[in-house]
Structure 1
Amino acid sequence: MSHQYRPYIDLYVQLNVRNKSAAGECYVRTETCLEALMDAIREDVSALTLLAEVLCLLDMIVNSFAHTISTKPVDRYSRPELTDSAPLAINPGRHPIPESIHSDFVHNSIFMSEATNMLVVMGPNM
């Protein structure tokens, strides 16, 4: 049996060499880009860490409020209506988190005006 030369084998070898070369160049460029990205991140890592902590805390608060509100009767809570004018009246004042923790929660009612612009709220919920 004789061996015959097939020209497509040479073409296949050439394409394989080009493919390996292109893959190597791709790896080098990717590494360069990733190093530049890491250098940029290192400069702001403390700010990014603080941002992550704040977002985690905010997520916990929002989800905790949402869960508490969704499991309690809706008419017990209301969204405050804030205005620029006095007075400020909250009656009865409730907070969903302590109220869900303490079975003997006592609401706090407050009234503030220009004459009474500071309050210290104390009681069994604290």
Structure 2
Amino acid sequence: MAHATVEWTDNLEGAFELTALLRLIADEMRLRSTGVFPVGGIRVRAIRLSDYVIADGAGPDDAFINIDVKMGVGRSEAFRKAFFDQLFAAVKDFLGDLFERRPLALSMYVEEAEGWKHNSIHRRFGGQG
């Protein structure tokens, strides 16, 4: 399991390619995790935020993108550090000069989660449901 939720402020509409960002995160999880994240358990979604206050609330161009990642327990500290350092760098690179064009905060938080799930998608990849 690796689920990512990208929250982004609506004043960024049109400033970056949202679908491409979601695909980038999914591809990183699928291709660069060296099998640590089962492909059938990867989920990446976005939530457009229209109600928010940033800093003192006085900067109408202030914006943020936050990425929350939940993954199953058991990944090593070394894997988590290397993988998420690389993922964060890839997202920063993807956003390019957006940080120079406007006030923008980017954050990413990673959480190990224990949960209950039933997933028949794994069968497409040779795993159990």
- The verdict on a shared fold, with TM-score over 0.5 as the criterion, is no
Decide which structure has greater helix share.
1
More strand as a share of residues:
2
Identify which of structures 1 and 2 has the higher relative contact order when contacts are C-alpha pairs closer than 8 Å and 6+ apart. Answer: 2
Scaled by the length of structure 1, the TM-score of the pair is: 0.21
Q: Normalising by structure 2, what TM-score?
A: 0.21
